[in-house]
Amino acid sequence: MRPSQLLRGLCLAAGLLLAPLAARAEDGYDLWLRYRPVEAGAATDYRASAGTVAPVADTPTLKVARAELERGLAGLLGERRDGGGEILLGTPASSPRIAALNLPLKAAGAEGYRIRTLNEGGRRVTVIAASTDVGVLHGVYRYLSLIQTRQAVDGLDLVDAPKVRYRLLNHWDNLDRSVERGYAGQSIWDWWRLPDVTDPRYVDYARANASIGINGAVLNNVNAKSDSLTAPYIAKAAALADVFRPYGIKVYLSARFSSPIEIGGLKTADPLDSAVRAFWKAKADEIYKAVPDFGGFLVKANSEGQPGPQDYGRTHADGANMLADAVGPHGGIVMWRAFVYSHEQPDDRAKQGYSEFKPFDGKFAQNVIVQVKNGAIDFQPREPFHPLFGAMPKTNLGMEFQITKEYLGFSTHLAYLGPMWEEVLQADTFAPGMGAAGKGSTVAKVVDGKLHGYSRTLMAGVANIGTDRNWSGSQFDQANWYAFGRLAWDPEASSEAVARDWAAMTFSPDKRFTGPAVAMMMGSREAVVDYMTPMGLHHLMGRSHHYGPGPWVAGGERADWTSVYYHKADKAGIGFDRTARGSDAVAQYAPPVAAAFSDLARIDEKDLLWFHHLPWGYRTRSGRPLWDELVGRYSRGVRSVEGMQATWTGLAPYVDAERHAQVTTYLAVQRREARWWRDASVAYFQSINGLPLPKGEAPPPLSLEAYERMQFPYTPGI
Ligand code: GCW
Which contacts qualify for 125-128: CB closer than 8 Å, 24 or more apart?
A: 125/85, 125/86, 125/87, 125/88, 126/49, 126/50, 126/85, 126/86, 126/87, 126/88, 126/153, 126/156, 127/87, 127/88, 127/89, 127/98, 127/101, 127/103, 128/87, 128/88, 128/89
- Read off the pLDDT of residues 541-585 as tens digits, 9 standing for 90 and up: 999 999 999 999 999 988 999 999 999 999 999 999 999 999 999
pLDDT tops 70 at residue 19 = no
Sign of CA dihedral 50, 52, 56, 62: positive
Closest CA to 390 of 425, 417, 341: 425
Q: How many CB atoms lie within 10 A of CB 88?
A: 21
Distance from the alpha carbon of residue 357 to the mean position of ligand 1, in angstroms: 19
Domains 168-487 and 530-576+613-709 share a fold: no
pTM of the model: 0.96
Which amino acid is it at 539? Answer: H
Distance CA 494, CA 509 (A): 18
Q: Which atom of ligand 1 is nearest to the CA of 718?
A: 10
Asked if residue 386 has pLDDT above 80, the reply is yes
Atom 2 in ligand 1: residue holding the nearest Cα: 378
Instruction: Tell me what the mean pLDDT of segment 348-373 comes to.
Output: 98
Residue-wise pLDDT tens digits, 601-624:
999 999 999 999 999 999 999 999
Is 636 buried (19+), middle (13-18) or exposed (0-12) by CB count in 10 A? middle
- DSSP H helices, 328-457, are 349-357, 418-425, 443-447
Mean pLDDT for the chain overall: 95
Distance 299 CA to ligand 1 centre (A): 13
Q: What is the pLDDT of residues 288-319, one digit of tens each?
A: 999 999 999 999 999 999 999 999 999 999 99
Ligand 1: residue whose CA is nearest its atom 3: 181
Question: What is the CA(340)–ligand 1 centre distance, in A?
Answer: 10
**pLDDT category, 3, cuts 50, 70, 90?**
very low
Q: Which residues carry out catalysis?
A: 304, 378, 406
* CATH dotted code for 530-576+613-709: 3.90.1330.10
Q: For the segment 242-291, what is each residue's pLDDT rounded down to a tens digit?
A: 999 999 999 999 999 999 999 999 999 999 999 999 999 999 999 999 99
Mutate to test the pocket of ligand 1, among 178, 379, 406 (most ligand atoms within 8 A of CB): 406
Q: Whose CA is nearest to atom 11 of ligand 1?
A: 223
Ligand 1, pocket residues at CB < 6 Å:
172, 180-181, 222-223, 300, 304, 339, 378-379, 406
378 Cα to the center of ligand 1, angstroms? 8
Read out DSSP for 455-500? SS-EEEEE----SSTTSSSSTTTHHHHHHHHHHHH-TT--HHHHHH
φ/ψ bin of 602: left (φ > 0), alpha (ψ from -120 to 50), beta (otherwise) = alpha
Question: Within 13 Å, how many C-alpha atoms sit on residue 193's CB side?
Answer: 9
Contacts of 208 (CB under 8 A, 6+ apart): 31, 32, 33, 471, 481
Q: What is the pLDDT of residue 23?
A: 55
Q: What is the mean pLDDT of residues 190-219?
A: 98
Average pLDDT, integer, range 191-213: 98
CA 706–ligand 1 middle distance (angstroms): 29
Which of 223, 256, 377, 715 is the pocket-test mutation for ligand 1 (most atoms within 8 Å of CB)? 223
CA dist., res. 119 & res. 423, Å (int)? 43
For 106, 239, 508, 601, 684, the CA distances from 707, given in Å and listed in that order, are 60, 48, 41, 36, 9
| Residue 479 half-sphere exposure toward CB, CA atoms < 13 A | 32
List CB contacts of 151: < 8 A, sequence separation 6 or more.
Answer: none
Q: Which of the four pLDDT bands, split at 50, 70 and 90, describes residue 25?
A: confident
Which atom of ligand 1 lies at the shortest distance from residue 378's CA?
A: 1
Quote the pLDDT of residue 526. 98
Give the atom of ligand 1 at the shortest distance from the alpha carbon of 400: 13
Report the greatest alpha carbon distance in the chain.
86
536 within 8 A of 382, measured Cβ to Cβ: yes
Ligand 1: which of 254, 304, 352, 718 to mutate, most ligand atoms within 8 Å of CB? 304
Q: Residue 15 and residue 274: Cα distance in Å, rounded?
A: 68
17 pLDDT exceeds 50? Answer: no
Does residue 523 surpass a pLDDT of 50?
yes
Angle 369-259-184 (CA atoms, 0-180°, nearest 5)?
A: 70
The pLDDT value given to residue 516: 98
Whether the predicted pLDDT of 407 surpasses 50: yes
What's the angle, vertex CA 389, arms to CA 383 and CA 394, rounded to 5? 165
DSSP string, 92-155: TTT-HHHHHHT---GGGTTT-EEEEEEEETTEEEEEEE-SSHHHHHHHHHHHHHHHHTT---SS
The CATH code belonging to domain 31-160 is: 3.30.379.10
Nearest CA to ligand 1 atom 7: 339
Q: Band of the pLDDT at 80, cuts 50, 70, 90?
A: confident
Domain map of the chain by residue range?
31-160, 168-487, 530-576+613-709
Report the SS3 class of residue 573: strand
The pick from 181, 374, 379, 410 for probing ligand 1's pocket by mutation, whose C-beta has the most ligand atoms within 8 angstroms, reads 181
CATH number of 168-487: 3.20.20.80
CB 390 within 8 A of CB 451: yes
Q: Whose CA is nearest to atom 12 of ligand 1?
A: 378
Instruction: Tell me if 252 sits within 8 A of 284, measured CB to CB.
Output: no
